Every structure is written in structure tokens, then in C-alpha cells.
Amino acid sequence: MCVGAMVDEPDVFHTALRRHFAEAGFVAKLPSSRPGSVHFLVLVQRMEQGVCIEVTDCEQGLFRDRLDAAKLQQLRQDAGMAEFAWPTFLRLLAQALRGEDGCSTTAVVMGGGPPKLQLEFRFRLQSAVLLARMQMEAAASLPSISPEAQEFLKELRGFFLGALDAAASAACTAGATGTATTSMAAVASPVPTRGELLLTPPRAVSAPAVLGQVSSQEPRPEVPPRPAPAKKRAPGSLVDLHGRKARRGGAKPFQLAET
């Protein structure tokens, strides 16, 4: 049967599936619904037409379920979100498996016969919380082993949980360090000098520079001052106000000619 016959809006479904579930998958911790019980490890991977969920506590066994489009649609209806769009529901499902934004998933092993695991999803929508449950069959049960082997499995489970916490903490620290490094690089950037500003290619400047006010695109060339114009001699004056010319023969000034 094709996916289009099982799920409404198949194109929207596949786009939302690729967006919220990486093909490589992710690992998270699932708390137990029973107080004092140990945490479970969940591995979530995207399939071609759905999601594969594997859960283990390293003691009870390995539980696996492949949620194709039909099972995801049933889970959406069980949660009371039949009218919700696929992007919204798949985003809430991923958040519940990761334990993010108020959504969560708890697990408990059910007794009586072959071991089964029940997952309880809590989807938070602002002030409302919607619930859904699903059961998983055991893909591999733990065989009868010695007490020493059981103690080893408990230690191995603790190692996996500690490694998961350390990886998450390292990712958060790396993100915070990268943000701080970017901020320090912005603060430590050199301040341009006035000479550098003048050598910068012409561009519009609308704000004052750090070391001076720049209001034009290029520096204006210096214009030498113009010389003052010479004063004109007053009409009818016989006296040169600015100097005397050399006279020939040593004649005296203003001497009258003899008759």
C-alpha cells in the first residue's frame, strides 16, 4: 500500500519528517514512570517512511518499534491531535522524545508474560497537556546470566548515561564558548585612525568618525590665498605714495627751471 493511501498530505508529511528527525538519529534518556527506577536509553532514527524507536535499560532487554505513516497517524489520533498539521505533531513528538519545551516521555517495563515496554508521551501546548501511550515488543530479551554479569550490565548502563550527559554538557559549553569568542573578537577589533579614514575609498559617511568629523567623501585641496590688489594712484597727484623713482643727474626735486 502506498503512503498516500495511509496518510493525508504525504508531501507535507515527508517534509516535516525530514525536518524534525535526522537520518542519523539521536540518543536521549527516558525516565521511568516508577519512582526510584533507572533511566532508559532511547535511540530514534528516521526511516524512509517513518521513525524507528529503540529503548533499553541494559537489564530488561531491547525494545524496538518502527512507526510508519499509519502508526504515526494512529498515535496522533490517540493524542487527540487528529486535526493538527503534520509539522506540528512531528515537532511535538521529537520534543517529547528529547524531553524539551515541557514535553516528555516516560517508560516502564510491563510484567506478566513476555516483557513489554510502555511509552507515555506528554505533549505540552501552552497551558494544556495531551497524553498518548504506545506499547513496544521486546526485540531481544536478556538471557539468564550470573549476578556478576548483571552487575557489569548495571555499570555499563551507568557509563552510557554518564557519557550521554557529558556529550550534552560539552555541546552546551562549546556553543557558549563560540558565542563569547565572537563577542570578544568584535570588541577587540582595531579602531581606524584619521589617516586610515582619509585613505579609505570614497564612500558616503553619515556618522562622525571616531577621531574626527568626516562630512565629505574626499578631502578638499588647500587653496592658496589670493594677493591683495595694488592701490590705484589718486588722480592729479604728483607724489608717488609707494616709492620714489631714481632721478637722472642728481637733480633736486621740485627745482624750478631758469628763464
Residues of the chain with pLDDT under 50: 1-5, 183-189, 197-198, 205, 207-216, 238, 254, 259
Is 0.75 topped by the overall pTM? no
- What is the total count of domains within the chain? 1
The verdict on residue 94 lying in a domain is: yes
Q: ∠ CA 73-79-85 to the nearest 5 degrees?
A: 55
Find the angle CA(131)-CA(133)-CA(134) to the nearest 5 degrees.
155
**Residue 239 domain-assigned (yes or no):** no
Q: Rounded to an integer, what is the distance from CA 88 to the centroid of its chain?
A: 21
Residue 237 covered by a domain? no
Angle in degrees, 0-180, between the axes of helices 69-78 and 86-98, rounded to the nearest 10: 80
The pLDDT tens digits of the residues spanning 4-41 come to: 445 678 899 999 999 999 888 999 989 887 776 678 89
pLDDT digits (tens, 9 = 90+) for 60-72: 789 999 999 999 9
pLDDT of residue 214: 45
- pLDDT of 15 reads 94
46: domain range? 3-145
In a domain, 88, yes or no: yes
CATH number of the domain to which 75 belongs: 2.170.210.10
Cross-sheet strand order for the sheet of 61-68: 26-30, 40-46, 50-56, 61-68, 128-141, 116-125, 104-110
The predicted pLDDT at position 250 comes to: 52
In a domain, 162, yes or no: no
Share of the chain above pLDDT 70, in %: 56
Q: Which residues of 212-243 are buried (b: 16+ CB within 10 A; e: fewer)?
A: eebeeeeeeeeeeeeeeeeeeeeeeeeeeeee
In a domain, 40, yes or no: yes
Residue 49 belongs to some domain of the structure: yes
In-domain check, residue 180? no
CA distances from 60 to 69, 139, 152 (A): 28, 11, 14
Residue 52: the pLDDT is 95
Q: Kindly provide the b/e burial profile for residues 96-122, where b requires at least 16 CB atoms within 10 angstroms of the residue's own CB.
A: bbbbeeebbbbbbbeeeeebbbebbbb
**CB neighbours of residue 207 within 10 Å:** 7
Instruction: Output the pLDDT for position 144.
Output: 72
